[in-house]
Amino acid sequence: MYLYIDPDKCTGCGLCELACSFHHEKYFVPSLSRIGVLRNHQKGIFIPLNCTQCEEPICELTCPLGAITRNPKTDALEINDDRCQGCKMCILVCPLGGVEFNKTKGIAVKCNLCDGEPECVKFCATGALEIIHDEQLIQIKKKKSFKRMAQELTALAE
């Protein structure tokens, strides 16, 4: 299972952030979301960013308490709230910013694919977010998505 992000379809509306924050925190607060949209309104660039569920996750390897494990059903990396002590090592090592710190709870949080039914996908009106199950298609879409995101990020830097 892979959450495919197509930045070409994202309008920066923020519905994904609202759906995620409400699902996980019971509040409509984008800053509590496990997905974030990088926005540049002047250039019309909007890039949804979240945990990419790495095949070799450095966050899992770095966690001193083993609080990050892979869910065998969804293949998502999940943080066990009871084991996490909020050391932030996973946040520091994630190269894509896929792990956030929840100040209220004092723990790290990240996308867990909502146990196989991602709320962000359900509420994405433009189809910029979709779940893919086919392994070959996942590899093709990952390459396309990462290439497009790199192009968008380069355009933001210019």
Read off the pLDDT of residues 53-96 as tens digits, 9 standing for 90 and up: 998 999 999 999 999 999 999 999 999 999 999 999 999 999 88
Q: Which residues of 101-134 are buried (b: 16+ CB within 10 A; e: fewer)?
A: ebeeeebbbbbbbbeeebbbbebbeeebbebbee
**Same domain flag for 56 and 97:** yes
State how far the Cα of 70 lies from the Cα of 62, in Å rounded to an integer.
14
State how far the Cα of 47 lies from the Cα of 6, in Å rounded to an integer.
8
**Same domain flag for 16 and 90:** no
State how far the Cα of 49 lies from the Cα of 146, in Å rounded to an integer.
11
8 versus 149: the higher-pLDDT residue is 8
Q: Using one digit for the tens of pLDDT, what is the confidence trace for 120-132? A: 999 999 999 999 8
**Same domain flag for 77 and 33:** no
Rounded percentage of the chain residues whose pLDDT exceeds 90? 71
**Same domain flag for 33 and 57:** no
Which letter does DSSP use for residue 127 in this model?
Answer: S
Q: How many domains does the chain have?
A: 2
Q: Which residues of 2-29 are buried (b: 16+ CB within 10 A; e: fewer)?
A: bbbbbbeebebebbbbbbbbbbbbeeee
Note the pTM of the prediction, 2 decimals: 0.86
Domain CATH number, residue 103? 3.30.70.20
Domain CATH number, residue 16? 3.30.70
Q: Position 120: which residue type?
A: C
Calculated CA dihedral for residues 4, 9, 15, 18, nearest 10 degrees: 40
Contact 152, 45 (CB under 8 A): yes
Confidence band, pLDDT 50/70/90 cuts, at residue 27:
very high
Full residue range of the structural domain in which residue 152 is found: 1-50+115-158
